[in-house]
Amino acid sequence: MATGVPRWVPALDRPALVALLLGIAGVGYRLVLTVHTVPAGNSDEATFGLVALHVAQGRAHPVFLYGQRYMGVLESYLAAPLVAVAGPSWTVLRLPLLALYALFVWLMYRLTRRVFSPWFAVLVVGLLALGTERVVRDQMTAVGGRPEVKVAVAAMLLVAVGLAERTVRHRRLAVGLFGLLAGVATWSDWLIVPYLAVAGLVLGYALRRELVGWAAVLLLAGFTVGVFPMLWDNLTAGPGQDSLSVFRRVDATGGPPGPLAGRIVGGLTEGVPLASGFCPAEGCARWQEWFGLLYPVLLVLAAGLALVALRRRVIHPVRPVVTLALVAGAALTLFGYVRSPLAASDPLSSARYLSVLQLSLPAVLWPLWVAAVSCWRGTAGVAGRLAGATATAVLAALTVTALVATGQFATGTGGIRAEERQARRVAEVLRAAGPRHVYGDYWTCHRLTFTTAEEVLCGVLDDGLYPGQNRYPAYWRAVGRAERPGYVLRAGSPAERRLTELLAAGGVPATVTDVGDYRVYHPATAVRPWR
C-alpha cells in the first residue's frame, strides 16, 4: 500500500506554501492583539457586543445596530454563539472577525493568483498580513460591516471568474450564492455598494445570455434571502424611519463640504495611506503620503493594462474585466469619500470608510509588478528597464513602509493596553462596591455595561449633564428609576466640572473614588438636572 500525504491534503506549490506561511503569520499577529484587547474596546464596539449578548440570551433579534437603522449587525450574530458559551468579552466578540480575516486573505490569494499571477498573489498576501492600528481596527473590531463585506465581494468575484471560465460544476447554485452574498453585504454595510455594483457587472459579463432565464431568478432569489432582514425591517418601519431616510438625515448633518481641493488632498495624502496600512493612526508623515498621490496614477495604469489585455485576448477576457471592476470599485469608493467634508476635516478618523480599498490592492499594484517582472526577465528595452527598476524600487518602498508602520504599532501598544486596563479597573470597582446604576459620557457607558455583562447599567449624558446618545433606551430608563445613581466621569472634564457645581449648589454630599483618569461620584441623593 502506498504511503505519504493523504489524498484530501492539497499539494502546495512554492507560491502557495509561502503565501500560507505569510497568512498564518498575519493571523497569529492578530490573534496576539486580540488576546490583549488591542486595539482597545469602545462604546461603538460594545454596542455590537451587547446585541450579541441579547441575541445569545434570546432577549432580542435586532436587524440594525441599536440606535441606528442602516448598520447591520451580522458581526453580533456571528459572536452570539460564543457569547452564549463563554460570556461577553472583547476577545470572544472579536474571534469571529479573526476567522473572517483569515477567510479574506485566502480568498484574496485565490482571486489574485487566478486573475494575475501566483508570486504576485504572495506579495498581496504579505501586505495583507501586515497591519497598523487603523488597518487592524477595521479588520478586528466589531464596529460594523467592513470585515464581512470584503469577504463577500472577494467570494463573489471568484464565483464570477469560475462561471466565466466554466470551472464551476453547479452553476445554478453558484449564481444563487452570488446573489445571497450580495444581499447579506447590502444589509451589513452600504459602503460596499460600489464594489457590489461592479461585481454584478462582472457576473453579467460572465453569464451574458444565461442571465435572461434561470440565472436571473436564482440571482434575485439569493439576493432577496440575503437582504431580507433589512427589507422586512424597512417594510414595517414607521414614516421616516426606513434606512434610506435615516441615512439621508445622517449624511445631511455632516456640514458644508468645504473646498474640493482640500477634500481631495486629505483623501489621497491621509485617507488612502492610512486605510492601506502605510501610516500610524496619529497621521502620515510626509514620507508616508506618497502612496496616496501615486494611487490614482496606478488606477489609470491598471485600467490601461486591462484594456490592452482585452484587446489582445492573450488571457481569458474575464480576468481583465475583473481588473477593471476592481479599478472602478476603488475609484467609486474614493469619489464617494471625497464628497464628504470629513475627507478634509477629519481624515484620521474617517479613513475607516476606505478600508474596502483592500479589495483593489491587486489591481493597484499590478502595473508595478508587470514593469518589475519585465525588467528582471530582460524582455524590455532601455526605457522598459528603467521603468522596471523604478517599479521594483516602489514595490520595495511600499513593503518597507508597511513594515515600519506595522512595527511602530506592534511595539507601541503599551498606552492602548494601559487604557484598557484602566477601563477594566473602573468596571471592577463598580462591580465590587457600586453603584450599579450610573451616568457617564457616551464613550464610557456602553463600554462599561458590556465589560460588566450588564451588572452595571449606564445612562449617557452630554457635557452639560443632559441626556446624550442613548442607543439602548432600556438602560437609560433603568438608571432613571435608581434611587441614588452614581456618575463615572473623566477627571477635569466639562461634565465633571458641571457635576461638582451642582453638588456644591445643592449642598449634596457625595463619596468620590478616583480610578486612574476617572472619578466615580455617588451622591447621597439623586442628582438629575434635566428633570
The residues near 150 (Cβ < 8 Å, ≥ 6 apart) are: 104, 192, 355, 356, 358, 359
Overall pTM surpassing 0.85 (yes/no): yes
- Looking at residue 70, its pLDDT comes to 84
The string of DSSP letters for 274-332 reads: HHHT-S-TT---GGGSHHHHHHHHHHHHHHHHHHHHHHHT-S-THHHHHHHHHHHHHHH
**321-326 own/partner pairs: CB under 8 Å, 24+ apart:** 321/202, 321/205, 322/111, 322/115, 322/157, 322/160, 322/161, 322/202, 323/115, 323/116, 323/363, 323/366, 324/198, 325/157, 325/198, 325/199, 325/201, 325/202, 326/198, 326/302, 326/359, 326/360, 326/362, 326/363
Dist CA 208 CA 272 (whole Å): 35
Summarised one tens digit per residue, pLDDT across range 295-304 is 999 999 999 9
**What is the residue whose three cell numbers read 497569529?**
28
Cis peptide before 39 (omega within 30 of 0): yes
Summarised one tens digit per residue, pLDDT across range 262-275 is 899 999 999 999 99
**Of 31-45, 206-220, 511-525, which gets the smallest average pLDDT?**
206-220
Dist CA 131 CA 121 (whole Å): 17
pLDDT at 4 over 60: no
Residue 146's pLDDT band (cuts 50, 70, 90): confident
- Looking at residue 425, its pLDDT comes to 96
Q: How far is CA 276 from CA 124, 127, 412, 463, in A?
A: 12, 9, 19, 35
Summarised one tens digit per residue, pLDDT across range 275-329 is 999 998 888 888 888 999 999 999 999 999 999 999 988 788 999 999 999 999 9
- Other beta carbons within 10 Å of 9: 8
Q: How far is CA 432 from CA 53, 138, 429, in A?
A: 22, 34, 5
Q: Which three cell numbers stand for residue 41?
A: 474596546
pLDDT at 380 over 80: no
Please provide the average confidence, as pLDDT, over all residues in the chain.
Answer: 92
pLDDT at 1 over 50: no
Reference 270, options 369, 345, 333; nearest CA is 345
Q: How far is CA 422 from CA 198, 518, 521, in A?
A: 45, 9, 17
DSSP state of 72: B
Q: How far is CA 284 from CA 28, 139, 359, in A?
A: 26, 20, 22
The string of DSSP letters for 246-264 reads: HHHHHHHTT-----HHHHH
Q: Backbone dihedral region of 44: left (phi > 0), alpha (psi from -120 to 50 degrees) or beta? A: alpha
Reference 73, options 230, 182, 217, 218; nearest CA is 230
Cis peptide before 435 (omega within 30 of 0): yes
Summarised one tens digit per residue, pLDDT across range 342-376 is 888 888 888 999 999 999 999 999 999 999 998 77
The distance of Cα 304 from the centroid of its chain, to the nearest Å, equals 30
Beta bridge partners of 459: 439
